Structure 1
Amino acid sequence: MKTYHAEVTRDGKFWFIRVPEIDRSTQALRYKDVPTMTIALIQVVTGLSQDEYDLRVEVRLPDAVRDHLGRAEALREEAARKQSEAAAEARAAVRELLAQGLSQREAGEVLGLSFQRVNQLVKTAT
């Protein structure tokens, strides 16, 4: 089955849609209309119905937007690492208190954690 690609960019008030396989373009006022407009263009030019091909929509974002998205992803990865480190430190704190003879309930009260959270930390400590 043939695949057509809709290369989509923002152009002023409109979404500009280019389909390289048929070397034709169209536009849409709203992003949600991009597939409909692309399908209509392909049908007019090729005569194919929608079930006779696959459509891949590829939005080409401005460099500044891609830069922001890249930074956001890096920050999410850093946050995940920091969350993991924080959990490891919490486990270490719980282990220290338990080693000093505190019960899990007491350790939770001292650390401001629920008994259930202390229990989770103990179980993942191994």
Structure 2
Amino acid sequence: MENKKENSARYSDTELEEFKTVILEKISLAREDLNDLTASLQSNNPNGTDDTSGANAGLEDGAATLEKESILQLAARQKKFIEQLDAALSRIDNKSYGVCRETGKLIPRERLMAVPHTTLSMEAKLKQA
């Protein structure tokens, strides 16, 4: 039966709904993280070093800039992750979710649960490397 499932054209509507639930939960968590990152960028001097002596101000300014750049990179990654999850929802809606874009075979359920936005089976992913 498992072999038949791997070669069938797509996941059932029930299975797609299960994947949709997982993806919606991940989107919700990713948006919360993005909001936290955005809030941390907007807060003024989170380290409370407004009264630091001038001798260390340059070092602290550099550290603050580095931290801000790191937060911006994390926020950009979160945005991309959310976009990929939204694209996965679109594939669920058009019933193409879970089909490898390289091989045309179903991506195993375990892989989709671990990486719900993937469009490649491990077979296809390993060929890219």
TM range (shorter): 0.3 to 0.5
**Higher normalized strand content (fraction of residues):** 1
Relative contact order (C-alpha < 8 Å, sep 6+): which is higher? 2
TM-score (norm 2): 0.36
TM-score (norm 1): 0.36
**Higher normalized helix content (fraction of residues):** 2
Radius of gyration: which is bigger? Answer: 1
